[in-house]
Each structure stands twice: as structure tokens, then as C-alpha cells.
Amino acid sequence: MGALWGVDLKSTSVIVPASPTPIQERRFLSNLDQVFTGQWYMNTVWYFKPASDHLIQDQDAFFKGLKDSLSRLLIYYPSLAGRLVKNENNRFEVELNDKGVIFREAVTEARFDDWKDIKDCTVEAKLTFEDTVIADYSSAPLVRIQATLFKCGGIALGFSMAHAIHDGWAAVEFVKSWSELHTHLQLSTPPVYASHLMKARDPPVVSVPIKDYISVPKVEGSLSSNYEVFEEGAPSPYQAITFRFTAQQVDEIIQEVRNGPWQVEASSFVAMAAFTWKVMTEARELPDDTTTRYVYPISCRQRWQPPLPRGFAGNTAHLSSLAAKAGDIKNKHVSYAAKLIYDDLSCTTAEYLKSVIDWMEIELQKNDRDIGFACNFYSGTDVQSTSMVNFPIFEVDFGWGTPIHNSFTFQPLLGDGHAYLFPSPEGGRSRLVPIYMKRLAMKNLFRNELFRRFQPGLKDYSYYSD
């Protein structure tokens, strides 16, 4: 199929369950699923250290083994081999029709040691699928995978997964389960399809004000048509850089927050979230009276009552939208932002989450309404963040060892201003923090006094500029 920026695509296959799904039914999707359905794919790349020479010598056997174990895995995950459909109430469901997932085989002449740090891999965009907009939900596969062999024996698995029927935790559990079957182990956490547990109450009861979502007029077709699209080949105005924070640096940020004037007993998440919100707001040089929002998912898994079962395969991520004045975030101590986040988490109770689901139900029953997020992805004022520090990323092992790096690939359509919190292979409190925003703001970040204080070994911005 030809070389693309140093990555050769060898073949593309459709992988279906090894045994036909016995009951080809439609599965219910919750209101949280409806919010994410039919819009975009989320792309991640997993890097594994160079494997044995045997893999390089027998590429066909390597790819065949992955496809065989993936086919066996889909027996447990029939929803991911299905397609989205709409029911008589114009709500999305998943049809278990065994249409399968996409699997691409690729090789590259690149080597892991072509970069000082694999997190700076310059061919990453070619290690997964570039088209992230779902133009036609009825025919779009819910999972697309690319396996790439590097010249050195390193392996990259690129996942392009529709957010429609699972959140980030469930997606990582899917990858972990695949690795277990690939190494002939039993699934440690079989998926549980029970979205009905998150059904709206009958009748719906909204007992508290809802701040995180808005009701918008329904637009026929994919909501992805609302996203920003750039001319092919045009330089992107955005830049993504992954920063490494040692455990000591994270502890120092936590202490900075806890000892601040707002005296927040901050967790590592609250401290790092407040830190990134503050430094990105300062780097953007937002006017003081501008509203900025910290937009982040809060898992319902343990907050729901009763708690959702282990292995719950669905969207449980309530997207909180926390607003503040940019002047307060910029000019006040970082513990101020931490106090806002800490209080927001404390207010997100089971009753609030159930009221969210019920409010969505009331709006969706109007038929001419859709649910939107109470933020602006393209305003350049909000920070969208996800913490994956507790995800079992480094428990994944296909027989080549655990990952040496896991990366989220950013696209302009996802908006301006992301800051993700990833665990690092070193474990403990060390963190990888990919940040994505406009180039000028990124350049300012490198000059930011607070940021550089906790990144003392940071290279000059010119090292990262294209």
C-alpha cells in the first residue's frame, strides 16, 4: 500500500468474533453513552520494547497471532464487533451483528533509539488512524487497531476506539483482556454489559441544578460536523508536548498546594489538576474577566449507588465543567484552583449523578433536543483534562513485556487546550503530562515561572519547535 511518512501499511483485515454471537440483539445505551455516541474516535498508541529477532524474521506469524487472539477476544466483547443503530425513539443502541473491527498491519524502518525519549516519537500520527471523525455511525466500526513493527523489534499498538459504548477505563480493560488471551490466560476482568443499571428513574427526578451539560437543538447526522476542521496539509496551529514529572516533583506540587493559603488536603490528582489549570491559563494570557473552565471526567463507577459492578463495560464518565474567572486562577495561589476542584469533587454525589441522568432523559424525550457539554472546546479558554493514573495500563503484557510508553494522540478537531495525566512506567507518583494548545501559548508555558519551578531540567522551547 506504499510508505506513509516512513510507515508501510501492509494489509487491512476485518476481524470478527471467533464464534458467531448466539443472540444478535440490540443492546441499550445509557444517557451518558448517548452524549458520546456518533462523534469521534479516541486514539492511543502503546509502545512495547524491542522483542526477539524471531518476530522480525516471521512477521506474518506475529500479525496472525494478534489477529487470532483478537478474534477470540471479540467473543467476550460482541458489542465492539457490532454497529450503532437508532431505535424507534431516535436513541442509539448497539446492534450485535458481528460486522467486526478493523486491523491494520504495518512496518517501519524507524527504530526506538531514533529518539532520545520514545515519548517524542515523530511518526506517532502514522501509528494509528488519522481520520478521527465518525461520518456515518451506522457503518463505522467501533474499534480500529494498527500493529506496527519497528526495525529494532519495537512494537506499537495503535487503538482508534469510538467513545460511544465505553469510557477510558473500559477501553484499557479491553486492551488488558486482549493481552491476557494472547498469552493464553483467563480474563482477569470479564466485561459486564449492564448499561440498564444507569437508566433514568421513572419518573425522572432532578433534585439539584445541573451545571455541566446544556440542551441544544438536534442536528441531523453526526455531531462531528460541528467540530473544527483544518485544510489538509496546512500547518496545525496547535502543538502537543509530553512533560515528565518525577515522583519528587509531584510531591513538591502537592506540598505547594497543601501549604497554600486555601489549605487544601489535596490528592495528587487535585494538585496536578490545579497546577496545569493555572499554568495553562497564565500561558494563554487570558484577560482577567474571561471565564475559564476546567473540564474533566468524574467516574460514576464507585460513586453510583449501588456501585457499578467490576468490569462494567460502558460510559461511566460524567464530564464536569468547573468555571472560574481567569484572573482568579492566574493571580491567586495555586491552592485556590485546587480548592475549586476539591469542592467540585465533593459535590459530585450519587444523587447529583442520578439527577444528571434524569435531566438528560427529560431533554432527550423532547425529540428535538440533544445534550451538549457546558464548555467551548475551541474558545482557547478552557482546559480539558483526563486522569488515567489509576488505569491498569502497565499491567498489559502480550508476552513482550509491559508497555514502555502510552500516548494519547491529539487532533485539532478535539479543540484547544488539553492536559492529560498519565502514569509512567516507573510507577508511584511519577507522571507523564501531555499538553496540547496553541503554539504561542505553548511557547509562553516554557517561560512560565511556576511551571519551570517544578520542571527545572526543561529544555528550551526551540528543542520542541518544528
pLDDT over 70, % of the chain: 92
Q: Are residues 319 and 453 in the same domain?
A: yes
Q: Give me the pLDDT at residue 38, please.
A: 57
pLDDT surpasses 80 at 95: yes
pLDDT per residue as tens digits for the range 225-242 = 344 555 555 567 889 999
Q: What was the pLDDT predicted at 137?
A: 86
Q: In 3D, which of 39, 17, 27, 44 has the Cα closest to residue 408?
A: 44
- Shared domain for 14 and 123, answered yes or no, is yes
Same domain, 276 and 150: no
Structural domain contains residue 379: yes
Does residue 404 lie in a domain region?
Answer: no
pLDDT in tens, 302-346: 999 999 999 999 999 999 999 999 999 999 999 999 999 999 999
* E strand or H helix that includes residue 106: strand 101-108
Residue 138's CATH number = 3.30.559.10
Residues 166 and 314: their CA atoms lie apart, in Å, by 4
Q: What pLDDT score does 233 carry?
A: 55
At which of 164, 198, 232 does a domain end? 198
Which of 49-53, 120-124, 321-325 is predicted with the least confidence, judged by mean pLDDT? 49-53
Asked if 168 and 316 count as a contact pair (C-beta separation under 8 A), the reply is no
Q: What is the CA radius of gyration of the chain?
A: 22
Indicate if the alpha-carbon torsion angle 207, 208, 209, 214 is positive or negative: negative
Residues 123 and 36 in one domain: yes
Three-state SS letters, 240-292: EEEEEECHHHHHHHHHHHHCCCCCCCCCHHHHHHHHHHHHHHHHHCCCCCCEE
- Whether residues 190 and 317 share a domain: the answer is no
Its sign, for the CA torsion 319, 357, 207, 308, is: negative
What's phi and psi for 3, nearest 5 deg? Answer: -85, 140
Question: Which DSSP category does 180 fall into?
Answer: H
User: Domain containing 101: what range?
Assistant: 3-198
Asked if residue 53 has pLDDT above 70, the reply is no
Task: Classify residue 26 as exposed, middle or buried by CB count within 10 Å of its CB (0-12, 13-18, 19+).
Answer: middle
97-118 mean pLDDT? 95
Evaluate whether residue 205 is within a structural domain. no
Taking residue 51's Cβ as centre, other Cβ atoms within 10 Å add up to 19
Cα–Cα distance for residue pair 162/141, rounded to 1 Å:
8
pLDDT > 90: percent of the chain: 77
pLDDT band at residue 419, thresholds of 50, 70 and 90? very high
Q: Are residues 157 and 11 in the same domain?
A: yes
112 with 261, same domain: the answer is: no
Choose one of 198, 228, 259: the last residue of a domain.
198
Mean pLDDT of the chain: 91
In terms of domains, do 240 and 324 share one? yes
Which range (59-63, 175-179, 189-193) has the least confidence? 59-63
Nearest to 103 by CA among 150, 50, 61, 141: 141
Residue 207 lies in a domain: no
Distance, in Å, from the CA atom of 8 to the CA atom of 108, rounded to the nearest integer, reads 6
Predicted pLDDT at 413: 64
Residues 265, 169, single domain; the answer is: no
Residue 377, pLDDT score: 84
Q: What is the pLDDT of residue 370?
A: 86
pTM (2 d.p.):
0.93
C-alpha span between 307 and 150 (Å, rounded): 43
Written as one string, the DSSP assignment of 345-361 is HHH--HHHHHHHHHHHH
Count: domains in the chain: 2
Given 145, 167, 198, which residue is the final one in a domain? 198
In this structure, are 118 and 263 located in the same domain? no
| Grid coordinates belonging to 222 | 453526526
The rounded distance, in Å, linking the Cα atoms of 86 and 63 is 35
User: With 80 as the cut, is the pLDDT of residue 395 above it?
Assistant: yes
Answer whether residue 234 is part of any domain: yes
Q: Is residue 384 part of a domain?
A: yes
The residues, ordered by sequence, that sit 6+ positions from 20 with a Cβ below 8 Å of its Cβ are 98
**190 and 219 share a domain?**
no
Is 418 a domain residue? yes
Residue 1 has pLDDT above 60, yes or no: no
With CA atoms as reference, report the closest residue to 374 among 430, 291, 302.
Answer: 291
Q: Where residue 459 falls among pLDDT bands split at 50, 70, 90? A: confident
Report the pLDDT value the prediction gives residue 160, as an integer from 0 to 100: 95
Provide mean pLDDT across the span 365-379.
88
Q: What mean pLDDT is predicted for residues 283-296?
A: 97
Looking at the fold, whether 88 and 119 belong to one and the same domain comes out as yes
Q: Please determine, for residue 63, whether its predicted confidence score (pLDDT) is greater than 50.
A: yes
Asked if residue 406 belongs to a domain, the reply is: no
